[in-house]
Structure 1
């Protein structure tokens, strides 16, 4: 049986539609999973029931995490909050992690994992890290924009056969600042920002700042990353 992956949505502020950008479903399906869209809810009982029926959680990219969730007032550059999504993820992430469910965070996903578990963010890289280069590339997004250095001996390093670096795409203006307890870096951007993390005490909680779902068809590094998440979900499915 294929693993079932719960995927978080976002709300299009122009149309008020709840959507998932197609690359996530395409990548998960191509790598052998069945993706399903999660509903907006912060009801603990409902979320626990959902988590009992999925084999992994994908936290997708999207709009900024509300800075009030990590005790700060938003800078002018920060998006209007996605309150329903924030409410869902602030409950979903800790409960999925506590169950040792496979979790992969992408772009906003790495940020929301860090915030939900007690870390914080750089709200706007150009304002707060002016020494950094731009992390917002122009389309197309299936090509690398900058390099990341992979931490030697990390799970990502082992997955990629010990390669010390790789090229990634980039479409964000926020970044991790102080890491939450239990989270360790796996990759750094070439200007010193954390670009990938994992939780050593969990079977599979990984997150990346770039968008592997937009590169997986042409870059084996990104496909292998998605495949590793699906494999972890498959292992969970087999144990259910």
Structure 2
């Protein structure tokens, strides 16, 4: 672990430490999460990696008490009961309700504290659900993920259009970027205070930002091995800028 050189403290939250029924998926998710954590440490963050399913609501809120920023990583679908959805939808897999509840409460905690927050894939959806939004439970796979292939081939490359007035557009320096995605659900009705700032080729929402708070969600995977070089660092550096601004105020 690289010694922290900035004093910034980050909690990086995953769904679960172990998926006994899905070892291949677990290994693949683990690779991406560990890559994100390593990149954060390389850029000066003091990173604490935690599993929401294993420590629950109280444990996760405790882990976030003294941090300066939060990242919620990808994983399984959110249980539909958290956004008034129905079970039995196409493509439904295993749910981790304890993780869902914990991550949702973490987002609300970040809102009350004004903590900078980045959500990646599932994390992006958790932000929306936590603030009262909903999800489209299944979208056409074309252009969003590969199916009927080993999990390591699930990611697909596609363009995303960013709103000209968005913070993400400023960070990336372009209103069109290429990303790696692997999802079958997307943000539908936006949660309180959120705005859509990124869209896929078919118009589905790929990025959100809070109108007043340092909260960003992206549906894609900047931490994927084949993601465009530097994309994850752009998002982590943006999180650092937001964190430093708050630390200076404090």
2:3: which partner in 1? none
2:203: which partner in 1? 192
Q: Specify every segment of 5 or more residues in structure 1 that has no aligned partner in the other structure, as ranges.
A: 127-131
Pair 1:165-2:176 in alignment: yes
With CA pairs under 8 Å and 6+ residues apart, which has the higher RCO, 1 or 2?
1
Among 56, 61, 73, the residue aligned to 1:41: 56
- The whole-number CA distance in structure 2 between the counterparts of 1:110 and 1:217 is 17
1:118: which partner in 2? 132
Q: Specify every segment of 5 or more residues in structure 2 that has no aligned partner in the other structure, as ranges.
A: 1-5
2:112: which partner in 1? 98
* Greater Cα shift, 229-238 or 103-112: 229-238
1:65-103 Cα deviation digits (max 9, x unpaired): 001111121214212211221121121111111110000
Among 237, 244, 249, the residue aligned to 1:227: 237
1:129: which partner in 2? none
Among 5, 8, 13, the residue aligned to 1:3: 8
* Greater Cα shift, 212-221 or 79-88: 212-221
Question: Structure 2 vs 1, CA of residues 42 and 228 (structure 1 numbering), >3 Å: closer, same or farther?
Answer: same
Q: Conserved in 2, the CA contact under 8 Å of 1:148 and 1:187?
A: yes
1:165-209 Cα deviation digits (max 9, x unpaired): 01000111111111112101111011101101100211x100100
Q: Conserved in 2, the CA contact under 8 Å of 1:146 and 1:167?
A: yes
Q: TM-score, normalising length from structure 2?
A: 0.82
- The whole-number CA distance in structure 2 between the counterparts of 1:220 and 1:144 is 18
Equivalent pairs, count: 230
Among 5, 19, 25, the residue aligned to 1:13: 19
1:131-183 Cα deviation digits (max 9, x unpaired): x7231147468x9700001101111111222x120100011111111111210
Question: Structure 2 vs 1, CA of residues 4 and 118 (structure 1 numbering), >3 Å: closer, same or farther?
Answer: same
Pair 1:62-2:75 in alignment: yes
Among 9, 32, 36, the residue aligned to 2:44: 32
1:207: which partner in 2? 217
- The whole-number CA distance in structure 1 between the counterparts of 2:98 and 2:212 is 29
